[in-house]
Structure 1
Amino acid sequence: MLKTKVLLVIVAVLSLSWAVNAAQSPLAVRSRGIAVNLDAHGRITAIKNLITGANYPVSADDCRIVLDSATISLSDVPMKLSSNIGNSIAFTGSASGLEITRVYTAAANRGYFNRDLSIKNISGKPIVVKTIMDCSLVFAKPFASAAFHDDNMSRPDMLYETSVNVFMRNPVGGLCAGLKYPYFKPDIANDHVSLYYEPNYRLKPGEKLDLPTMFVAAYKKLGCTVRKAITWKTRVLSMKQEEMDLGEVRAMQQVMGDYLTEYPLPKDGYYLWLNCYWADKTLRGRMDAQRADGYIKLMDEAKMAKCLDLVTIGSVWCGWGLFIKPAPEIDAVGADAVLPRNPFTDRVVEHAQSLGLATSGFCEPNAATRHYRKDHPDFRIQPKPNGPTVADNCHANPEYEDWFYKLTCSAIDTYHLQKWAWDHSWMKRPMICYNPTHGHEPGNCEFDEYRNVTDMIMKLRQRYPRELLEIYWGLKEAGPWSLRGLSSLENLYENGQDTGHNMSIADDLRFQHWYNHNYRFIPTHLDLAQIYMTRERNGHLYSILSALSASTHASLADWTPFTTQSEADKIFAPLRRWKAWANANQAYLRDRVDLFGQPIRTDGIDGTAHIIGDKGFIFVFNPWPEEHWGSIPLTDTIGLEKGSKFSLDNITGDAPKRLGVYKKGDNFVFPIPGKSAMLIELKPTNDAISHIIVPTGTKAQPAFPRY
C-alpha cells in the first residue's frame, strides 16, 4: 500500500513538472482560444483550450508518409527549428529523398491553430507519394467521446458525405480537428485521432508539394443544441440525426469562415442580378436572332427596373448551346483555347454595355453531350487499365485543366463578363483514371483532380479579383473545402425543387442556408439567394427578406413583364427600397447568427441575427398559418458585445414600429403573425424601458433551444 502511494506521488509530481515545463516552453503557438506546446523536433506535446482552461497532454504526435520506395514516420525524423517569427514556428527535416517542412501558425484573435505540411523531392529522381496519415495525435487522457463529421450531403447515385472534421468531446468543451481536404478517412477513438488520405502523386525531382493543412480548434459548450428536424425525405440531405453543441458549430464556422475568404463583388454594395435562365425559359438555348431580340427586350426592361446590376446569358459558353445539349462550335475549340464569337451574342452584349448593365456566362465542366477537345480523345477518363474511355475528360490531367482555364479566360475576356458560373459535373468520385499520358499516377487521382480544379479557381480569382465566380452542382462531390476563391454557391440543390413539408420557395431557401451554416459551416457571404416576384406564395416581401437574411448578393429568378416606366416603378418599388437598405447595411449582411433552430420544423419560427458591436438587425420568419412567439436573449450569444440598453423597432413596413426597450441580458419576447416575415432594428438608446406584454400561458420559442 505504501509503495502504491509513493508511486502515485511520483506520477503526480512528474505530471505537474511536465505541465509546468510545457506551459513555459518557448516553442509554443498561442491565440486567444488555444495554445499548442511543441518539443524541439516540432512535435505536439500539449494542447490547451484557453476558453475552458482544460489542458490536453499529447503522448504521441506522428505523420506517416508512404512512398513507393519507403515509409517515413515523422516521429522518427530529427526535425530542426528553421524559423520562429511572431506566432509562426517552422521545422525542417529530411528522410528518404524528401525535405519535409512543418509550419505552425495561429492568428491572435482566433480559437484554432494550423499546421502546414510540405514536401520537396531532393532525391534527383521521381517519387510517388502513395498515402499520408496526418493529424495523428494520441492523448494522454481520453476524451469522453469522439465523433467524425461529414458535410451531411447524401445522394444514392453520387459520393457525397465529404469529410469536414472530427470532434473530441468532454462535458465542458473540447477540440475540433481535421484536414482542409474533403477526402480524408478517420481513425478515431476517445484517446486518439488519425486522418488518412491517398495523394497517389508523382513528385518530380526538385518539385515542392504543399499538402492539406491540419487544424485544431478549441471550443466551450454553450449548452444549446443544433439538430435536424426533418420529417420528410429530402433531396440530397442525410436523414441521419447528428446533434452538435452550438459551441462546436461556432468553432468550426470560424475555421471554415477564415478558409473561405470573402472577395469583393463586381460593384460595391448589395449585388443583384437577373437570372435569365430561370426568369424567361424562351431564352434558353443557342443564341439566334429571335433569342437575341428577346434578350435585348428583357435588358431594356431590366434597365427600367433601376435595381439590377447584371443580366445573365442563359445559354452555355455565351450563346453556343442549351445546358447539357450539344454545342459543336465548343467541341471544335482546339489547343488555342479561343472562344468563337457568336454574332448574336455580340449584339446582346453590346446592347447591355450601352445600357450600363453587366453580363455573365456559364458552362458545364463535363457533360455527356459536351465533347471538349474532340481533337484529343486521349484526354478522356480511362477507368480501367487498358480499358475504354468514358465521355468525361480528365480534370486530373494538368494539361487539360490548363486548357479549360484558358478557354474560360477567353470567354470572360471576349465579352467582358463580370460573372462566371459552372454547373453539372466537375469533380467526380470515385476519380479513377489509368491513362498513362495524363500527367497523373494511374489509379486513384482524386487528389490531382482536387488540386487542379481548386488551383484553377484560385488562378481565376487572382486574374479577375472582382469577378463573381459561382458554382452550382460541379463541386458537390468535393464539399466545403473545395469552395476557395468562389463568390457564391448553389446551396444544397436548385431553390424550389424540393418543397417537402409544404414549404414555400423562400422557406426552402432558408432551410438550405441553415444547413450550409450549421452542418457544412459555410460562411454567410457564399450563400446564393434567389428572389421571386410572383412565385413565392407568401408574397414578394417574404421572398426579399428571406434573401436579405442570407447573403450579400442575390439573383432575381422570375420576371413580371411591363411596357411603361410607370409600371416598372410600381412593380419594382419594393425591390428598389430593400436594395437601397441593403446597400446602406451591407456590413451587417456578411455574417449572421442563426436563431430558433432548423427552418420548417413543425410549428417552428426561424430567424437570423446580424449584430456588430451594439447595433444591428434581426430577421424573423413564421412559415406556419398560426401566430407564434419567440424569445431572443440580448447577449453576446447573438453578437451583442457592447451597450447596456437597446430599442427594438419593426422596420418591415413603411414606418418603424416600436416593439420595446430592453436592457442587455434581457430576453426579448415577441409575437409574429402566421405566414409573415419581420425585420427588427436593434440600436442603443436612452429611452425608458418598455416591454411587449406577454399573455399568461404563452410559450415562446427560444432562440437557442436545448434538447
Structure 2
Amino acid sequence: MSKLATPIAATLLLFLSYAPAAEPLHLENATLVLSFDAASAALTAVENKLTGETYHVSADECAAEAVEFAVDFAKLKATAVNLAGDTLTAHYESEAMNARVAWWLCSSHRFAEKRLTLTARRDCGLKKVVLSRPTFSIPGLQLVCYRYPQFGRQPGQEPISTFFGRTAKGGFFTGVQMPFDASSLIDRELTLAYAPSLKVKAGETLVCEPVYLGVYRRRAADDSPPAHPPIRSPHGQPQPATAEVIPLPSESEAMVTMTSAILGPPRHDLVPMACGWHCEMEHDTYVDEKAVEAEMRSLDFLAECGIDWLSDSHPWGGETQKMNSLGPGDKYVPGDLVLKFLDHARRQDIKVVMWPTMNHTHPWSSKGAAFRSDKPEWLMTPKTLEGKPDIIKGRAGKANCFANRPFFDWLWRINEDGLATGYYTSWAMDGSFFGDGGWFTTIIPVDCTSDRHDHLLGDSNYACQRALDRLIAGVRRNSPGMYIFMCRPPMDLGVWSLRNVDACFTLLESGTPPSNLAAGDEIRKWSRVRVHHHFFPHYLDQPLLFQSRYIDDKRPFQWSGKQLDYILLSALSSSPNQLYYLPTKTGVPDQDKAEIRKWLGWGRKNVAYLKVRKDLPDWPGPGKVDGSAHMVGNRGLVFLFNSGQTALSGEFALTAESIGLEGNGTWSITQEHPAPGRTQTARAGQTVRWEVPAQSAVVLNIQPVAN
C-alpha cells in the first residue's frame, strides 16, 4: 500500500464509523424531542413542542485533555449505541481513554440530562473535560450567558453559567450542573466543559458532571420590564437593569421546575430553627456546669417560642482542644457537659444540629487548628496569596486540604462517630475550602500546591467541591432522615452544590432590621433573589428573622413586638424552613413569645401549602402589594403584603398561570388574617382584587365551592 493510501484508508474507516443512519434515534415526551445520529449518538436536533420550533444542532462532541495526552471526538470510535425507553447510551473507545455517554429524558420533564463517563487506560492527570460543543441554529435565535449567584461578585466571577437560547416564541436553556465550570459562549460558539484537575489511575472510572438541556415557552410577563435586577452588592442594592443579563420570568420558572425535579421535593415539614451562634449562646468551650445551665435556660426560652430545632452555637460542641488532639485511632464522643446540654434538648423536644467542620477544628476561634498535627502532608497551601482576602492569608498553611482522600476518610469516620451517638437529627457544614470561617469573598477557586493530594498541582477547586458533595451524600446515604443544612461554601456556590440538602443559609445572614415591616420586606426580597435569580427551589431557602445577638453582645438591645405577624408571615410564605436569631438570655415579653408560638403552630397546620409557592409579579417595595400563592390542586392560600402607609389593593387571577390553581368552577376566597371572615366568590379565570390595609399582611384561604 502506498504512503498516500494509508491516511486515505484511515479517513475512510473513520467516515464509515460515523456514517449517519437513514433514520435518526429519538428521545421524546410530551414537550421535547431529542434527535441523535444513529451511528455516533451525537445530538442533531431539539424540538420544542411547547412552541413548535426545532433547534438544529451540530458539533455535539466531547473531548478530554490530560497532562499526558488529549482525546478529541475524532479519536473516539463508537462501539455501541443503544436506545432503550427514556435513555440513549453510546460507548466509545480510544487508545488513551474510553467513554460512555448517556442521555435520559423522563416522561414528565421539560429537560433532558447528559452524562459522560470516562475510563482511563493509563495513569494520567486529567485537566479538562469538554462535555459538548453544540452549535444551535434557528432563524432569529439569540444566545446569552447568564452567570450567578451575583452576590458580592464582579461580572465574570460568578460560579455558575446557564446559557439561554431565545426566540420570539420561547427557547431552550443549557449548562453544566456545577459551580466554577469552564463553559463559555464566544459569539455563537458554545462550549460546555469543566476542569477536574484530578489524578486518575489506569482503569479508574470518572463519572463527569451532568449537562442539562431544556425548553420553555414565552409568556406575557416576559414582555414587561424586569421586576428586579440581580443584586451584587452585599448591602442589597441592585445593579442598573441595562448592566445585566436577566432571566426572563419564563426562563426562571423553567429553571426552578428543573432544579426542583433534580434536587427532589422537601423531605421534612415545617422546620423553625434557632441559630445558636446568633442567639446569645456559647461560642467557646463550656467551662463548667453553670455555663451549661445557662444554655439550658436558652433551650427553655426557645421551647416557649414554639421553636423545636437548634443549630449548635459552636462547632464540635465547642470542644476545640479535643478536636485538636484527635489522633489516627481516636473516636469522637461528645464530653459530659455537651451531653448534659443535649439531654436537656431532648427533654424539651428540641432537635439539635451537629456542626462539624471541614478542614480546621474551629475556623472562628484562635484556639482552632488544622486536624491531625501528626500529618503535615495533609495541609493545604495556596498557590498564591496575591489578591486573596486577609482571612485566607491568615490561614495559609494552617488548615487541611479537603481534596485529600486519606484525610477525607479520617474526617468521615469522625463525623460518623458523632452521628452514631443518636443525639443529632440534623447535620450542617460551614466554612471555606481555605480553612477560614468563610465569607462571600473567600468562596473562590481553590489552588492547593501539594503534589500528594487527589488534585493536580495548583488547582484543587473541583476536587474540593467533589469531596464536599461526597461527604453530604454519605450522610444522606447512612442517615436518610437527617435534616441536612448548608452554610458556606454551598450558599455562595449556588444551587448545584445542594444535592442531598434540605436547607441553605440565606444571603441575608447578618440579621434583619429592627423594624419588622422592613425586615419582612427584606426576607421576601432575598427569597425571591434565591428563586428567580439563583434558581433555588423555594423550600431550600432558609429565611432568617430578627437581629443577631452574641453571648457577650454590648450593643443596645432593639427588640420590637410590633408587626410580628408581618415578619413571621413573610418568612412562612417564603419557605417551610426558617432560621431565628433570638435573644435567648436577654429575653422578650411573654406576649411576643406567644405570638411567635401561635404562628409557628399555624405554619405546622398549613405546611402542605407552604411546600409549594408561586410568586405574584410585583416584588416587595413601597407603593405596591406583593405576595405569593400556595396551591395544592384546587385549593390553598394566598399571602398579600403592604408595608406602605396607606391601604392598597392586590390582585391575582384564579388561573394556573397566575397562582397555580387547578380546575374549573367557582371558588370562595376567605380572609383568615388580619380580620377573619370577609368572603367573596369568583369563577375560574376571573381576577380577584383585595384591599390590604396599611402596614399589614393578609392571608386568604381559597377553597372550591361545591356545585
TM-score normalised by length of structure 2: 0.84
Aligned-residue offset at 1:156 = 5.6
Q: How many equivalent residue pairs?
A: 647
Q: Deviations over 1:262-288 (max 9, x none)?
A: 4523xxx42333333323x15333223
Aligned-residue offset at 1:221 = 0.8
Give the letter aligned to residue 507 of structure 1: D
Aligned-residue offset at 1:514 = 0.5
Mapping for residues 57-96 of structure 1, pairs under 5 Å:
57-74=56-73, 77-96=76-95
The residue aligned with 2:272 is: 272
1:101 matches 2:100: yes
Higher mean alpha-carbon deviation, 176-185 vs 378-387, is at 378-387
Aligned-residue offset at 1:191 = 4.2
- Between the aligned residues of both structures, percent identity stands at 20
Q: Deviations over 1:316-338 (max 9, x none)?
A: 21132xxxxxx322221222363
Q: Quote the Cα distance in structure 1 between the aligned partners of 2:585 and 2:676.
A: 29
Q: 1:26 to 1:53 in 2, by over 3 A?
A: same
Give the letter aligned to residue 184 of structure 2: D
Instruction: Give 1:442's match in structure 2, choosing from 439, 453, 457.
Output: 457
The residue aligned with 1:186 is: 183
Q: Quote the Cα distance in structure 1 between the aligned partners of 2:632 and 2:505.
A: 27
The residue aligned with 2:553 is: none
Give the letter aligned to residue 470 of structure 1: F
Q: Quote the Cα distance in structure 1 between the aligned partners of 2:335 and 2:198.
A: 41
1:378 matches 2:392: no
2:424 alignment partner, SS class: coil
Aligned-residue offset at 1:616 = 1.1
Instruction: Give 2:520's match in structure 1, choosing from 485, 488, 506.
Output: 506
1:103 alignment partner, SS class: strand
Aligned-residue offset at 1:462 = 1.0
Runs of 4+ residues deviating >6 angstroms:
385-388, 560-564
Q: 1:584 to 1:303 in 2, by over 3 A?
A: closer
Conserved in 2, the CA contact under 8 Å of 1:153 and 1:237? Answer: no
The residue aligned with 1:547 is: 571
The residue aligned with 1:245 is: 248
1:614 matches 2:634: yes
Conserved in 2, the CA contact under 8 Å of 1:227 and 1:241? Answer: no
Conserved in 2, the CA contact under 8 Å of 1:158 and 1:477? Answer: no
Conserved in 2, the CA contact under 8 Å of 1:364 and 1:425? Answer: no
1:466 matches 2:476: no
The residue aligned with 1:648 is: 669
Conserved in 1, the CA contact under 8 Å of 2:75 and 2:94? Answer: no
Conserved in 1, the CA contact under 8 Å of 2:667 and 2:705? Answer: yes
Q: 1:238 to 1:184 in 2, by over 3 A?
A: farther
Higher mean alpha-carbon deviation, 200-209 vs 127-136, is at 127-136
1:409 matches 2:412: no
Conserved in 2, the CA contact under 8 Å of 1:34 and 1:218? Answer: yes
1:406 alignment partner, SS class: helix
The residue aligned with 1:690 is: none
The residue aligned with 1:530 is: 544
Mapping for residues 222-233 of structure 1, pairs under 5 Å:
222-225=219-222, 226-228=226-228, 233=233
Q: Quote the Cα distance in structure 1 between the aligned partners of 2:258 and 2:72.
A: 28
The residue aligned with 2:15 is: none
Q: 1:536 to 1:224 in 2, by over 3 A?
A: farther
Aligned-residue offset at 1:69 = 3.1
Aligned residues: CA RMSD = 3.2
Q: 1:319 to 1:196 in 2, by over 3 A?
A: same
Aligned-residue offset at 1:209 = 0.7
The residue aligned with 1:700 is: none
Give the letter aligned to residue 293 of structure 2: D
Q: Which runs of 5+ in 1 are unaligned?
A: 1-20, 321-326, 688-707
Q: 1:439 to 1:237 in 2, by over 3 A?
A: farther
The residue aligned with 1:455 is: 470
Conserved in 2, the CA contact under 8 Å of 1:431 and 1:446? Answer: yes
1:291 matches 2:291: yes
Aligned-residue offset at 1:541 = 1.0
Aligned-residue offset at 1:127 = 2.0
Q: Quote the Cα distance in structure 2 between the aligned partners of 1:249 and 1:242.
A: 13
Q: 1:608 to 1:336 in 2, by over 3 A?
A: farther
The residue aligned with 1:172 is: 169
Give the letter aligned to residue 578 of structure 1: W
Aligned-residue offset at 1:572 = 4.4
Conserved in 1, the CA contact under 8 Å of 2:112 and 2:213? Answer: yes
The residue aligned with 1:424 is: 431
Aligned-residue offset at 1:520 = 0.6
Aligned-residue offset at 1:374 = 2.2
Aligned-residue offset at 1:227 = 3.9
The residue aligned with 2:332 is: 339
1:384 alignment partner, SS class: coil
Q: 1:273 to 1:59 in 2, by over 3 A?
A: closer
Q: Deviations over 1:288-342 (max 9, x none)?
A: 323201122233344455x33234431221132xxxxxx3222212223632532
Q: Deviations over 1:466-506 (max 9, x none)?
A: 2121122332442221111111111213153689x997222
Q: Quote the Cα distance in structure 2 between the aligned partners of 1:243 and 1:651.
A: 36
Aligned-residue offset at 1:345 = 1.1
Q: Deviations over 1:557-599 (max 9, x none)?
A: 21577999xx96x554444443343333322212211113332
Q: 1:538 to 1:563 in 2, by over 3 A?
A: closer
The residue aligned with 2:197 is: 200
TM-score normalised by length of structure 1: 0.84
Conserved in 2, the CA contact under 8 Å of 1:495 and 1:509? Answer: no
1:429 alignment partner, SS class: coil
Conserved in 1, the CA contact under 8 Å of 2:77 and 2:94? Answer: no
Q: Quote the Cα distance in structure 1 between the aligned partners of 2:384 and 2:623.
A: 56
Q: Which runs of 5+ in 2 are unaligned?
A: 1-19, 387-392, 435-442, 548-557
The residue aligned with 2:25 is: 27
Q: Quote the Cα distance in structure 2 between the aligned partners of 1:386 and 1:349.
A: 41
Q: 1:339 to 1:212 in 2, by over 3 A?
A: same
Q: Quote the Cα distance in structure 2 between the aligned partners of 1:672 and 1:232.
A: 32
The residue aligned with 1:629 is: 649
1:665 matches 2:668: no
Q: Quote the Cα distance in structure 1 between the aligned partners of 2:341 and 2:205.
A: 46
Q: Quote the Cα distance in structure 1 between the aligned partners of 2:561 and 2:132.
A: 49
The residue aligned with 1:147 is: 144
Q: Deviations over 1:28-60 (max 9, x none)?
A: 112332110001211011100111010111132
Q: Deviations over 1:128-154 (max 9, x none)?
A: 222122231112435531111122323
Q: Quote the Cα distance in structure 2 between the aligned partners of 1:59 and 1:467.
A: 44
1:53 matches 2:52: yes
Give the letter aligned to residue 469 of structure 2: T
1:418 alignment partner, SS class: strand
Q: 1:139 to 1:350 in 2, by over 3 A?
A: closer
The residue aligned with 2:262 is: 259
Q: Quote the Cα distance in structure 1 between the aligned partners of 2:162 and 2:93.
A: 29
Give the letter aligned to residue 608 of structure 2: A
The residue aligned with 2:37 is: 39
Q: Quote the Cα distance in structure 2 between the aligned partners of 1:429 and 1:377.
A: 24
Conserved in 1, the CA contact under 8 Å of 2:324 and 2:372? Answer: yes
Instruction: Give 2:346's match in structure 1, choosing from 347, 353, 359.
Output: 353
Conserved in 1, the CA contact under 8 Å of 2:229 and 2:238? Answer: no
